[in-house]
A and B are shown apart, each in its own frame.
Chain A
Amino acid sequence: DGGITQSPKYLFRKEGQNVTLSCEQNLNHDAMYWYRQDPGQGLRLIYYSQIVNDFQKGDIAEGYSVSREKKESFPLTVTSAQKNPTAFYLCASSIGRRPQHFGDGTRLSIL
């Protein structure tokens, strides 16, 4: 089945450590997105990519980095510069002007 796969489902980070969240899609979508969700809040855009080898900062990019070397993959690195990384991270993809579809998320916690 086509879809968006995020891994791992749960991730723990030690202080000062970088961690990378995986997002893979087999929908042949051009655009991919990363969102952060905190309890009781909506989704906030971290980074997005419209084509391979190109990406743009969203509303809350500080402390995060991304790459888009392949159309299918858009990994997100949460760096040690992100002081409050505990959150639910959601990846999405879309094609053209069609609605975005989401993966099932990765929950990141600090040890």
Chain B
Amino acid sequence: GQQLNQSPQSMFIQEGEDVSMNCTSSSIFNTWLWYKQDPGEGPVLLIALYKAGELTSNGRLTAQFGITRKDSFLNISASIPSDVGIYFCAGQRFISNFGNEKLTFGTGTRLTIIP
């Protein structure tokens, strides 16, 4: 099955720095989602984007749905220790008249904060 191209694979930053990561696809998606996963836990939804060009913020997080519907980026401003984890993008498309979605995930960006 397809996986999205997510970059960078890992980031090592100092506390207070800004972070940027992105996902690209060869296919169009109806929705872009960004999740964060802590070790040994399930992914937690951060931001959902539903329209091409949409720019949405959630606290220090900002994400955009690309105009072509084939890409998305996530920015984190003024990083703090609890931002450490793995960030996944996911593209969502409709799979039936039930309206339920099938997700295609990126390979993840591992964020580490250097003391």
Which of the four size classes fits the interface of chain B? 20 to 34
User: Is A107 within 8 A of B40, CB to CB?
Assistant: yes
Stretch in A36-44, A62-70, A77-85 with 4+ CB within 8 Å of B = A36-44
User: Would you give the shortest CB distance from B54 to chain A, in whole angstroms?
Assistant: 14
Instruction: List, in ascending order, chain A residues with CB within 8 A of B40's CB.
Output: 104-105, 107
User: Is B107 within 8 A of A105, CB to CB?
Assistant: no
| Alpha-carbon separation in the docked complex, A101 to B42 (Å) | 9
User: Is A94 within 8 A of B100, CB to CB?
Assistant: yes
Contact of A102 (CB < 8 Å), options: B3, B6, B44, B92:
B44
Contact count A vs B, C-beta below 8 Å? 75
What mask results when residues 82 to 115 of chain B are scored 1 for a CB within 8 Å of chain A, else 0? 0000001000101110111111011110000000
Instruction: List, in ascending order, chain A residues with CB within 8 A of B31's CB.
Output: 97, 99
Instruction: List, in ascending order, chain A residues with CB within 8 A of B59's CB.
Output: none
Instruction: List, in ascending order, chain B residues with CB within 8 A of A4's CB.
Output: 42
Instruction: List, in ascending order, chain B residues with CB within 8 A of A92's CB.
Output: 42
B48 in contact (CB, < 8 A): yes
28 chain-A/chain-B pairs, Cβ below 8 angstroms: A4-B42, A6-B42, A30-B98, A31-B100, A41-B107, A42-B3, A42-B4, A42-B108, A43-B43, A43-B105, A44-B1, A44-B3, A45-B102, A45-B103, A48-B100, A48-B102, A90-B42, A90-B43, A94-B100, A94-B101, A97-B30, A97-B94, A97-B100, A97-B101, A99-B33, A99-B45, A104-B41, A104-B42
A31-B101, A43-B43 are known; give 7 further A-B pairs, CB within 8 A: A6-B42, A30-B100, A42-B3, A44-B1, A50-B98, A51-B98, A102-B43
B→A interface (CB under 8 Å): 1, 3-4, 6, 30-31, 33, 35, 40-45, 48, 88, 92, 94-96, 98-103, 105-108
A→B interface (CB under 8 Å): 4, 6, 30-31, 33, 40-45, 48, 50-51, 58-60, 90, 92, 94, 96-97, 99-105, 107
